[in-house]
Chain A
Amino acid sequence: MTDETSHHATSAQPNRLWYANLIGLIVLGLLVLAPLVVDLQGENPATPVELEAAAAPDGSMSTELADAVAEVDKSHDDHHDVPPYWQIGTIPFVLLLLSIAVLPLLRKTMHWWEDNTNRLAVALGAGLLTMLFYLVVDGPTAALLATEHAIPGEYVPFIMLLFSLYVISGGISITGDLKATPTVNATFILVGTLIASFIGTTGASMLLIRPLLETNRERKHVVHTVVFFIFLVSNIGGTLLPIGDPPLFLGYLRGVPFDWTLILWKEWALLGGLLISVYWIWDQIMVKRETTLDILRDDAIRRPLRMSGSINILLLLGVVFAVALLDPSKPIPGTDIHAFPFCRELVMLGLAGASLAVTPKGIRESNRFNYHAIIEVAALFIGIFLSMQVPLAVLKANGADLGLESPSQFFWLTGILSSFLDNAPTYLVFFQTAESMTLEGGEGILQLQGGGFIREDLLTGISLGAVFMGANTYIGNGPNFMVKSIAEQSGVRMPSFFGYMIYSMLVLLPAMVLVDWLFL
C-alpha cells in the first residue's frame, strides 16, 4: 500500500521548518530577555531592568516599563496607544486566525497542518511579523513592550495552567459500567457539571466520558446523551472559576479577582438544572425505544465504578490554590508576603511533575494520554498572543466607539464568535472593549487588580457568552471535539457538524435567550 510507505517516508525526514522554528524561538527568547540588558528609556544607560520586575506574570509592568509606556503614550498622545498603520499591523492576526480556520479544510493543506512543527512555524511567523511591525512603526521599545505583555505576561501563565491541568487530570481514570438508566446518565452529567469549574472542562470531560460511554454501550440511542454531556460538562459547567474555562483564566490574568466568577452561580445553576431536567425527560423517552434484549444485556453487564490515580485530585486542588493564592500582583491573603514572579507557574509545574511521578503505571495508557493536544495549543497560542497585541491596542483606544453598550450585546457577540472561534482570544477582544468603555470606578464597576476598571454587567455578559456558547458547535471548544472523537471511536454515530448544530439550536439557543432575558 503506497499510502503507508509514503507516510513513513515523510515522518522519517526531518521537517525543514524545524530549524526556522528554532531560530524563531531563539529570537523570541531574546526579545523576552531583552529588558535585562537594554534600557528601555534609552537615556540613562547601564540600568539593567531585572527580569522579575520586567516580566511580572500578571501582565503588570515594572516601573521602567511603565515609564516607557508613559513615554510612548506621550509621543502618540492624539491617538492614545494605537500604533500608526494599525490596519497593516492587524494583518498577521487575521492571517493566523484564517490559517487555523481554513488550512484544515483544504485537501492540499490538511495533512501539512497536522504537523505541530508547521503549526508552530505559522504561529511564530505571525508573531514575529507583528513584532517587526512594532519595531518599524513604533520603535524597539514598543516591540519589546508588546513582547513582554504577550509572552511572560499572558502566554506563559496561560500555557502553564493548561499544561498542569492537562497532565494531572490525564492521570485520573474512572472505569465501570452501570445500568444506563436516565437517572444514572443524568447523574454523570450532573457530577461533570459540578466538578468542571475545579478541574477544567477538558479534564472533567475526559474523566467522565469513557465510563459514561461504557455504561451506555448496550444501548442504541446514545447520541443525545453525548450531546448533553458536551453542553454541560465540556462547557457550561466551567463557569464558576478561572480554572474552569481558559477565557476566564485570561480574565483573571487581566486582573479579575479569582472569586469574581462565583457570582455567576445563578446562571450556572439555572442552565445546569434546566438542561439536566430536559435531558432526563428526553432520555426517559429514548430508553423506551431500546429493545428489551438490549435492556436485559445492559442489566446483565455491570461493573461498579472504580477510580484510579485519585492522588491527582489532591494535585488538582493544589493548582486551584496556586491560582487563587499565588498572584504576584497582590500579597498572599492573610500575610504581607508577595509571591515572587512565576512562583505560581513553578508550583503548577511542580504539581504536574509530581503527577507524572506518582501516578500508577497504566492509567495514562488507558486514558490514551499523550502530549499532542497541549503541544498544539502551545504552538498556536504563541502566535495568537503576540499578533493579538495590535488589535487589542486598537480596541483599548477605540473600543468605546464601537457602539456596543448593553450586556446583552456583549453576551451575544462574544457568544456567536465563541461558537466558531476559540473562546479565549474572543473573550480578550471583548474584555478589552468593555474595559475601554469603563473609565472610572463606582457602583457596579469592578476594579481590576493590575489597574483599570470594567463594568460588571458587561463582564458578566462576556464571561457567560464565551463559556456557554462554546457549546454551540463542535469547534466552539476543545473538549467538544475530543468528546465527539472518543464517542465515535467507541462506535457512537455522532451527528455531523450541522447535525450537532440542530441540537444546539433547538436546546441551547432558547436557553441562551432565557439567560439573556432573566439576567442581562
Chain B
Amino acid sequence: MALKRVIVALGGSEYMDAAVSEACHIAARNGAEILGIAVMDETLVDPAEPSPMGTGSAAADLRAERREKVETGMSESIARFESMVGAAGIPHRTQRLVGDAQEALTDALRLADLAIVGIRHAFDYGTIAHPDDFLGRVARASGRPILAMSSPARQIDRVLVAYDGSTASANALRAFAVLNGFGPSVIRVVHCHDEESDSETLLEEGMSYLRLHGHTVEGMVLDGDPSTALLEHAEAWTADMLVMGAVGRRGLSRLLLGDTASSMLQQSEIPLLIRS
C-alpha cells in the first residue's frame, strides 16, 4: 500500500508550520499529494449559548468578532501553506470549510491516507479552543492514522511504538508499517507491564511484524502507569515519534481507568501517530 493523499490541518498556530513541513517530507517520499484544510469550527466560533436578557447583542458582537478573527486566520494560513508547499514543488489543493471541525476532518479523511494536525491546536486560529481529546475523537471517527505534530518539525529517526495487544494498538502499529511514511533507523516496541498479559510474547508479536517490513527493531518492557512511563521513556531514549492506539474512554471509565492517548495528546512534546 502506498500513501497517496496526505491531509494537513491549516490551523494557524506554530504547530501548523511543523505539520506542513512534515507533510511535504512524507508526500515527497511517497509521491503523494497534499490536501490542506482550513475549517471554521462553527460550534466553537458561533456557539448557540445562553445569555441573560439584554446581553443578546453583546453575545452576537462577540460571535461576529470571533468569526472575523478566524476568517482572517484561515486566509493567512492558506496563503502560508500554499507558499510553503509551492516552494517544495509538491502537488496540492486547499479546502476552506465551515462546520463542525471533527466532522469536516473525518469527512476529508474518507479518501485520504493520513492526516497531519497540530498536536494541541487543530483549527483554533488563536481564537478558540478544541476539546482536549479532539484528535482522539477524529482518529476514532475516521479510522485513519492521525499524526499529531509537535513543534518544531524534526527528522523522524527513532520511533517508539507502544503495543499492548489491543486492536487499536495493533492498528496503529500496522498503519505505521504499511504507510511507509517515515524512514526510521531504529524502532523500539514497548509494552507497559501488567498482571494479565505476557509482555515478552506481546513484544515479539509486534516486533516480528515490523521486521517483515524490513525495519531494525528492538523491544522493551516498561513499568508503571502507561501515560507517564511512555513519556518518560520517550524522553530518556530521545524518541522522535511515538506510535500508539487511540482507545478512547469516555466519562466515568476515563476518570477511573484513564485514557492514555488523550493524556499523551495533552502532554507530549514529540509527534504522536495514533489510530483507533
Please give the residue numbers on chain A whose beta carbons come within 8 Å of chain B beta carbons, in ascending order.
1, 3, 100-101, 104-107, 110, 113-114, 116, 119, 370, 372-374, 376-377, 380-381, 422, 474-478, 480-482, 485, 488-489, 493, 497
Do residues A105 and B129 form an inter-chain contact, with CB atoms below 8 A? no
Roughly how many angstroms separate A485 CA and B59 CA in the complex, as a whole number? 7
What per-residue 1/0 map shows which CB atoms of B50-78 lie under 8 Å from chain A? Answer: 11111111111110010100010000000
Do residues B49 and A497 form an inter-chain contact, with CB atoms below 8 A? yes
Q: How big is the B interface, by class?
A: 20 to 34
Chain A residues touching B, majority SS: helix
Closest residue of chain A to B96, judged by CB? A1
Which residues of chain B have C-beta atoms less than 8 A from A113's C-beta? 56
Roughly how many angstroms separate A105 CA and B46 CA in the complex, as a whole number? 11
Do residues B49 and A373 form an inter-chain contact, with CB atoms below 8 A? no
Do residues B52 and A476 form an inter-chain contact, with CB atoms below 8 A? yes
Roughly how many angstroms separate A370 CA and B61 CA in the complex, as a whole number? 12
What per-residue 1/0 map shows which CB atoms of B26-68 lie under 8 Å from chain A? Answer: 0000000000000000000000111111111111111001010
CB of B67, distance to nearest CB on chain A (Å): 8
Which residues of chain B have C-beta atoms less than 8 A from A480's C-beta? 52
Do residues A373 and B98 form an inter-chain contact, with CB atoms below 8 A? no
Please give the residue numbers on chain B whose beta carbons come within 8 Å of chain A beta carbons, in ascending order.
48-62, 65, 67, 71, 98, 129
Roughly how many angstroms separate A493 CA and B60 CA in the complex, as a whole number? 18
Do residues A376 and B50 form an inter-chain contact, with CB atoms below 8 A? no
Roughly how many angstroms separate A377 CA and B51 CA in the complex, as a whole number? 12
Which residues of chain B have C-beta atoms less than 8 A from A377's C-beta? 53-54
Which residues of chain A have C-beta atoms less than 8 A from B67's C-beta? 3
Do residues A478 and B56 form an inter-chain contact, with CB atoms below 8 A? no
Do residues B56 and A493 form an inter-chain contact, with CB atoms below 8 A? no
Do residues B48 and A475 form an inter-chain contact, with CB atoms below 8 A? no
Complex partner residue of B48 from A100, A104, A476, CB under 8 angstroms: A104
Most chain A beta-carbon neighbours within 10 Å: one of B51, B55, B58, B61: B55
Roughly how many angstroms separate A110 CA and B42 CA in the complex, as a whole number? 13
CB of A479, distance to nearest CB on chain B (Å): 8
Which residues of chain A have C-beta atoms less than 8 A from B51's C-beta? 104, 474-475, 481
Known: A1-B71, A485-B62. A110 touches B52 (CB 8 A): no
Do residues B56 and A374 form an inter-chain contact, with CB atoms below 8 A? no
Most chain A beta-carbon neighbours within 10 Å: one of B56, B60, B67, B98: B56
Roughly how many angstroms separate A119 CA and B61 CA in the complex, as a whole number? 17
Which residues of chain A have C-beta atoms less than 8 A from B61's C-beta? 485
Closest residue of chain A to B42, judged by CB? A107
Which residues of chain A have C-beta atoms less than 8 A from B53's C-beta? 100, 376-377, 380-381, 422, 478
Do residues A376 and B54 form an inter-chain contact, with CB atoms below 8 A? yes
> Can you list 7 residue pairs at the A/B interface with Cβ under 8 Å?
A104-B50, A104-B59, A119-B56, A376-B57, A422-B52, A481-B59, A485-B55
Do residues A373 and B50 form an inter-chain contact, with CB atoms below 8 A? no
Do residues B56 and A475 form an inter-chain contact, with CB atoms below 8 A? no
Roughly how many angstroms separate A146 CA and B52 CA in the complex, as a whole number? 26
Do residues B48 and A373 form an inter-chain contact, with CB atoms below 8 A? no
CB of A236, distance to nearest CB on chain B (Å): 16
Roughly how many angstroms separate A474 CA and B49 CA in the complex, as a whole number? 10
Known: A1-B71, A372-B57, A373-B57. A475 touches B62 (CB 8 A): no
Roughly how many angstroms separate A376 CA and B60 CA in the complex, as a whole number? 12
Which residues of chain B have C-beta atoms less than 8 A from A489's C-beta? 62, 65
Which residues of chain B have C-beta atoms less than 8 A from A422's C-beta? 52-53
Which residues of chain B have C-beta atoms less than 8 A from A476's C-beta? 52
Known: A478-B55, A482-B55, A485-B55. A105 touches B50 (CB 8 A): yes
Which residues of chain A have C-beta atoms less than 8 A from B71's C-beta? 1
Do residues A475 and B57 form an inter-chain contact, with CB atoms below 8 A? no
Roughly how many angstroms separate A488 CA and B53 CA in the complex, as a whole number? 19
Roughly how many angstroms separate A374 CA and B53 CA in the complex, as a whole number? 9
Known: A475-B50, A488-B62, A493-B129. A104 touches B55 (CB 8 A): no
Do residues B56 and A376 form an inter-chain contact, with CB atoms below 8 A? yes
Roughly how many angstroms separate A474 CA and B52 CA in the complex, as a whole number? 8
Roughly how many angstroms separate A100 CA and B54 CA in the complex, as a whole number? 11
Do residues A373 and B62 form an inter-chain contact, with CB atoms below 8 A? no
Known: A485-B62, A488-B62, A493-B129. A374 touches B50 (CB 8 A): no
Do residues B49 and A105 form an inter-chain contact, with CB atoms below 8 A? yes
Closest residue of chain A to B74, judged by CB? A1
Do residues B129 and A477 form an inter-chain contact, with CB atoms below 8 A? no
CB of B177, distance to nearest CB on chain A (Å): 40
Roughly how many angstroms separate A206 CA and B52 CA in the complex, as a whole number? 16
Do residues A110 and B57 form an inter-chain contact, with CB atoms below 8 A? no
